[in-house]
């Protein structure tokens, strides 16, 4: 995503928010086209949420995501082996701060060899078709470029039409070998635009996340107040009987 795109999308979303507040915008579609999606860089503190997201995937989705039918133990081992210093793990959160979609960009840097990367992604079934998979892919491409990585590899099962479509649309070379498909994407050099765009995307995601945290705290506080008031009312009622 270019900086110009980022700014256009932010402006568009700002306009939409105003229309939503006035009730002039009647939105029925869940499409995220033209909307800036907050994609958070995940860290150790998010491990329980990452585990929760992956364990919630169905048997078939686990098969599509990992290339084999990952058991709970496989997933636990995968999550505890995540390397946040080397790789990038991204998450899209809902209002309750649960992970709706996540991606893993593994960076492979070897002295004397061109750096490479591998991309894996999963989106909760109810949130599919909104563009989250493609946005996470774009975010990973942006980071890989900025890390001077020139190649991205995606392993997908040949039945996985959305994943293959995401890779194909980005310009990847697709090699199908029976039930398995491999996609290789050459990445352009980083430039000022890719670097500034990443800074903007990160800042936006951090701000959005902390607003959601504050909102969650506020609603929890209100729920507690309501609980106490109901308790006091019940006690008064009982003592009046």
Number of residues that bind ligand COA (CB under 6 A): 22
- Residue 162 binds ligand COA, judged by CB under 6 A: yes
Could you give the CA distance from residue 99 to residue 153 in angstroms, rounded to a whole number?
24
Three-state SS for 205? helix
- Residue 116 binds ligand COA, judged by CB under 6 A: no
Give the nearest distance from C-beta 119 to ligand COA in angstroms: 7
- Judged by CB under 6 A, the residue of 36, 99, 134, 187 near ligand COA is 134
Contacts of 184 (CB under 8 A, 6+ apart): 151, 152, 153, 154, 172, 173, 175
Question: What is the DSSP secondary-structure string of 75-132?
Answer: HHHHHHT--TTTSEEEEEE-TT--EEEEEEEEEE--TTS--EEEEEEEE-GGGTTSSH
Question: What is the DSSP secondary-structure string of 12-64?
Answer: HHHHHHHHHHHT---------TT-----EEP-GGGHHHHHHHHHTS-HHHHHH
- Selected range binding ligand COA among 13-21, 22-30, 153-161, 211-219, rule: CB under 6 A: 153-161
- Residue 120 binds ligand COA, judged by CB under 6 A: yes
- Residue 104 binds ligand COA, judged by CB under 6 A: no
- Judged by CB under 6 A, the residue of 3, 123, 149, 205 near ligand COA is 123
CA distances from 22 to 9, 10, 25, 26, 123 (A): 20, 19, 8, 10, 32
CB nearer to ligand COA: pick between 116 and 160:
160
Give the nearest distance from C-beta 32 to ligand COA in angstroms: 8
CB nearer to ligand COA: pick between 6 and 32:
32
- Selected range binding ligand COA among 118-126, 192-200, 210-218, 223-231, rule: CB under 6 A: 118-126
Sites for ligand COA among residues 31-70 (CB under 6 A):
61, 64-65
- Residue 171 binds ligand COA, judged by CB under 6 A: no
Give the nearest distance from C-beta 35 to ligand COA in angstroms: 13
Q: Kindly report the length of the chain.
A: 241
In this structure, are residues 101 and 121 in contact, taking their beta carbons and an 8 Å threshold? Answer: yes
Return residues touching ligand COA (CB under 6 A): 61, 64-65, 120-123, 128-134, 156, 160-163, 165-166, 169
């Amino acid at each position: 995503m270019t900086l110009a795109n980022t700014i256009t999308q932010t402006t568009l979303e700002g306009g939409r928010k105003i229309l939503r507040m006035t009730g002039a915008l009647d939105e029925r579609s869940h499409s995220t086209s033209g909307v800036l999606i907050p994609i958070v860089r995940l860290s150790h503190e998010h491990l329980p949420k990452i585990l929760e997201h992956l364990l919630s995937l169905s048997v078939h989705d686990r098969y599509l995501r990992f290339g084999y039918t990952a058991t709970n133990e496989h997933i636990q081992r995968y999550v505890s082996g995540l390397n946040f210093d080397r790789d990038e793990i991204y998450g899209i959160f809902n209002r309750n701060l649960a992970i709706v979609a996540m991606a893993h960009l593994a960076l492979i840097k070897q002295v004397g060899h061109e750096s490479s990367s591998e991309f894996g992604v999963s989106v909760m079934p109810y949130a599919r078709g909104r563009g989250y998979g493609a946005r996470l892919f774009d975010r990973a491409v942006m980071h890989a470029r900025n890390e001077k990585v020139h190649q991205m590899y995606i392993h997908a099962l040949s039945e996985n039409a959305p994943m293959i479509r995401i890779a194909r649309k980005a310009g990847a070379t697709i090699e199908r070998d029976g039930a398995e498909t491999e996609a290789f994407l050459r990445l352009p050099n980083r430039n000022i635009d890719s670097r500034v765009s990443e800074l903007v995307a990160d800042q936006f995601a951090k701000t959005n996340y902390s607003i959601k945290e504050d909102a969650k705290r506020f609603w929890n506080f209100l729920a507690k107040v309501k609980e106490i008031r109901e308790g006091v009312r019940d006690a008064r009622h009982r003592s009046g009987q």
